[in-house]
Amino acid sequence: MSEWLLSDQMVGNMLYVNSLLLMGGIYALMCLGLNVQWGFTGLFNAGIAGFAAVGAYTYAILTTFASGMHIGGYELPIWVGMLAAMIASGIIALAIGAICIRLRADYLAIATIGIAEIIKLILKNETAITNGPRGVAKIPRSWEHLGDARVAEKLPWRLFGEPSAYEGFFREWYPLLFMLTVVGFVLLVYLALEIARTSPWGRVMTAIRENEAAARAAGKNVTRLRIESFVVGAVIIGLAGAFYAQQLRFIEPTNAFDPTKLTFLVWVMLIMGGSGNNRGAVLGGLMLWVIWSGTELVIRFGANVLGDVFPDLSPSVLVTKASFLRLFLIGLILQFVLQRFPKGILPEVRPAALGGKTNEVRD
């Protein structure tokens, strides 16, 4: 039994599940960020890819080696890079928010799409800073490089003895540690947002979303609160962007931050999971990523079975053709879920008016 558990195949399967939780976790973070903006406050942010790119590039440039291709060589610790990614994304959101936040729903959407494109064009054309379309490579990943000499030279790692003593450990176990870090952050952000949601701040956000005029009449500084929500969401998306850069270890402005795979996929995840519900956001992110990634295996299995049954068909040709079918399949699943659960799989649960914890009401 234990031999079977430790076979290459089993370890490989576990590593794949690990990678599903990891990427799913990164998407769940983006969903949580969007949930603050759209689910809580009703701000239509269609520029998720732009904020994720700001986070990813900030992290990448601050933490990579000097490459001669982009500015950098700062080699800052990973946590500093992630903190800077959140701050940079937040500052951009603050600047944008100060200008555009008064725009109503669809106008804000148009403005944010435009801003995401501007960010992309800047990253693409400021080649001296970002290496332009050729991208930033060899981005350090959490845990993986802790045994490297350049990390080990710095305090406090010197205290743990020679890097050779623990290099092997981190090289072997970084996938699990990195996944746990991402999932830990998802949990942390989730808990923080749950507190925010049931707090007076969260209830004002709902009031702004449902009836802005009433909120204003009640004496709330609506513009300021909308900016707050926009910035908090952007900070979370920036953090997710930093994790995204770590997982890919290479980023470039065009394909890695393609709006269909970041902005619109994240929107679909949130709507599917349940907009306004933090648990729904996490569920949507994880679930849709598992479907997105897992369908390739399902299709490959199907192609192999077909290839066995009909020897004239080549599985490899079938898989090539079916790759296009995959997008269609995902669309079909979405249709089904949205027909069955129009408010998402986990619909929004509104906190009771007086902040009571037990008598939450379904909308």
Partner 1 sequence: MKKTLLVSAAALAFASVASAQVKVGNPMAVTGPIPDLVAPMVDAVNLAVAHVNEQGGVLGQEYVMVAADSGCDPAAAVDAVTKLVNVDQVSALIGPVCSGATIAQATSVAIPAGVVTLSVSASSPAISTLEEGTDLVFRTAASDAYQGVALAELAMASGISDIAVSYAQDDYNAALAAVFAEAFAAMGGNVTANEAHEPDKASYRSEVATMGSTSDNLALFAYYGSGGITLMRNALETGAFSTFIGADGMLSQETIDQIGGENMGAATFTTSASDPSRDAFQAWAALAEAAGVPASDPFVANSYDAAFMMALAIEAAGSADRDGIAAGLRAISGPDGETILPGEFAKAKEILAAGGSINYDGGSGPQDFDGNGDVAGFFSANVVVPKGSETKLTIGSKSYDPEYVWSSTLLN
Which positions lie near partner 1, rule CB under 8 A? 8-17, 19-21, 23, 69, 124-125, 127, 132-135, 137-138, 141, 144, 171, 174, 244, 247-252, 254-256, 258, 261, 286-287, 290-291, 293-294, 296-298, 300-301, 304, 314-317, 319-320, 323-324, 326-327
Min dist CB 197 to partner 1, Å, is 23
Min dist CB 206 to partner 1, Å, is 29
Min dist CB 19 to partner 1, Å, is 5
Of residues 105 and 297, the one with the C-beta less far from partner 1: 297
Of residues 71 and 95, the one with the C-beta less far from partner 1: 71
Min dist CB 309 to partner 1, Å, is 13
Min dist CB 218 to partner 1, Å, is 41
Min dist CB 8 to partner 1, Å, is 6
DSSP string, 148-193: SHHHHTSTTGGGG--THHHHHHHHHHHHHHHHHHHHHHHHHHHHHH
Tokens describing residue 154: 């710095």
Q: Output the 3-class SS for 47-114.
A: CHHHHHHHHHHHHHHHHCCCCCCCCCCCCCCHHHHHHHHHHHHHHHHHHHHHHHCCCCHHHHHHHHHH
* Amino acid found at 235: V
Q: Is there a contact between 227 and 94 (Cβ–Cβ < 8 Å)?
A: yes
**For the chain, what's the residue count?**
363
How many CA atoms are closer than 13 Å to the CA of 276, on its beta-carbon side? 18
Contacts of residue 350, Cβ cutoff 8 Å, sequence gap at least 6: 206, 360, 361, 362, 363
Min dist CB 257 to partner 1, Å, is 9
Of residues 77 and 315, the one with the C-beta less far from partner 1: 315
Of residues 129 and 248, the one with the C-beta less far from partner 1: 248
CA angle 96, 122, 231 (to 5 degrees): 25
Query: How many of the other CB atoms lie within 10 Å of CB of 19?
Result: 16
Q: What is the rounded CA–CA span in Å between residue 327 and residue 146?
A: 38
Of residues 120 and 226, the one with the C-beta less far from partner 1: 120
Of residues 103 and 333, the one with the C-beta less far from partner 1: 333
Of residues 33 and 135, the one with the C-beta less far from partner 1: 135
Q: Is there a contact between 45 and 96 (Cβ–Cβ < 8 Å)?
A: no
